[in-house]
Amino acid sequence: MQHDAAGGRGRVQLRADSVLGCTLACPMRVDKGRHLYIECMKSCCRLARGGRDVGRPCPGFFMRWPVACLFCILSLCVVATALADAVAPARPALLFVVHSYDDDFIWCRNIDRGLQTALRGFPVTIRTFHLDAKHDLDPASQRRKALAIATRITEEKPQVVVAVDDAVQELLVVPHLLGRDTPQVVFCGVNAPLARYGYPAPNVTGVSERWHVRESLSLLRKIVPTARRVVLLTDGSESSDYMLADIRADLRQGGPYAVEDFSIRQVQTFQQWQKAVLASQEGQGLAFGLYFSLRDEATGSVVPAEAVARWTDTVNRVPTVGFADYVREHGQLCGVLESAHEQGLIAGGMARLLFDPMLRAQTLPLRTNQEGIVFLNLKTAERLGVSVPFEIIQSASEVIQ
């Protein structure tokens, strides 16, 4: 081993028969007949040759210059890539909202309002779609619409999809989105048993829909104590089937409702609805479920729910009770209403969380709506000759006067 004439930090020439040792790194073999020039950097290491201490500092590790250069280049590439990832802008938040029904349906509008409330202040682009399953009853047409939306999802890659009501679950989520890595799916307004759709799933969570039937009938009895016999009238839709299954389960688990005689009448057409309403005028109360899929027997077309409600109001003379927030516009006397706004608010809060790429839908627990809006229509009460106790008016969440 040779030293430069200058003392202190010098350049050391090592031959292959040198023994290289270091306390900071493993020694690397030097091929015979090759020389390696190194810069002495660490005073804690020693170079020994033939048992003689040369008294010079040595580096913590040794490698050939080409290997060292390649290592440095690769390290710089890794650092540069990491820095680029750190400063690269995140993909803008994109949310798809897919409704089962049309955009004029008050239920859909109130869910949208709840979503907007939950997402207020959050930078997200929202695209909204409607299957219009209440009016378009052709299964093939519904599947085509759902497939078109699924294609848009694949193309535009929203991070989160909010799927509203049962038709969207059956036509879009289950066949096209369930079990995928992306997007994350949040359902709301679902009446069916969740197992029907395979929920919960790794990429699916959400909020189920529950009507406050027991509470609504108790409210009716407080307003009209003589309303001991009530008929629940609803359409023949699949959503009605799920709702009725919930009611029967509630009766089994919670016992009878506040009325003495509670019966159910399910009809398919508008004409059948008319006959059922007229036949119930001898009773003491009417409860209205769903009436969005009633067909006109003459034309085969679906009669708009607003037209059904208008006709019903013109002939009905008994106290009425409803369960969902669309009854505000349809003349029912009272009800403890399920809130579409609450459905949207809960779903929107879940969606907001799921824009965090570290979260998966399955980490968010399933929810059920809890809020009940105590609703009174004093105009209807006046028309029916019903006197509403003042304390009930005071305690109501919403009163139409």
Name the burial class of residue 124, with classes exposed (0-12), middle (13-18) and buried (19+) by CB atoms within 10 angstroms of its CB: middle
Helix (H) or strand (E) holding 164: strand 160-164
Measured distance CA(48)–CA(59) in Å, rounded: 13
- Name the band, by pLDDT with cuts 50, 70 and 90, for residue 74: low
What is the C-alpha separation between 8 and 56, in angstroms, rounded? 8
Instruction: Identify the CATH number of the domain defined by range 93-210+344-368.
Output: 3.40.50.2300
What does DSSP say about strands 160-164 and 124-130: parallel, antiparallel, or unpaired? unpaired
Which sign, positive or negative, has the C-alpha torsion 224, 191, 187, 268?
Answer: negative
With H, G, I as helix, E, B as strand and everything else as coil, classify residue 188: strand
163-203 per-position pLDDT tens digit: 999 999 999 999 999 999 999 999 999 999 999 999 999 99
Q: Is the pLDDT of residue 70 over 90?
A: no
Type of residue at 353: L
pLDDT digits (tens, 9 = 90+) for 216-272: 999 999 999 999 999 999 999 988 999 999 999 999 999 999 999 999 999 999 999
Please give the distance of CA 206 from its chain centroid, rounded to a whole number.
Answer: 5
43-52, 71-80, 83-92, 308-317: range with lowest mean pLDDT: 43-52
Instruction: Output Rg (C-alpha) for the chain, integer angstroms.
Output: 36
Q: Name the nearest CA neighbour of 386 among 321, 337, 342.
A: 321
How far is Cα 109 from Cα 116, in angstroms, rounded to an integer? 11
Quickly state the pLDDT bin for 89 (edges 50, 70, 90). very low
Let me know: does 220 contact 375? Beta carbons within 8 Å: no
Q: pTM (2 decimals)?
A: 0.73
Amino acid at 216: S
Domain ranges of the chain: 11-86, 93-210+344-368, 213-339+371-400
The architecture of the domain spanning 213-339+371-400 is: 3-Layer(aba) Sandwich (3.40)
User: When comparing pLDDT for 217 and 76, which is higher?
Assistant: 217
Question: Strand, coil or helix: what is 183?
Answer: coil
- Whether 213-339+371-400 and 93-210+344-368 are alike in CATH topology: the answer is yes
* Cβ atoms of 285 and 230 closer than 8 Å: yes
Strands, DSSP E only, in 11-136? 11-14, 19-20, 36-39, 47-49, 52-53, 93-99, 124-130
- Quote the DSSP letter at residue 45: -
C-alpha 58/C-alpha 46 separation (Å) is 6
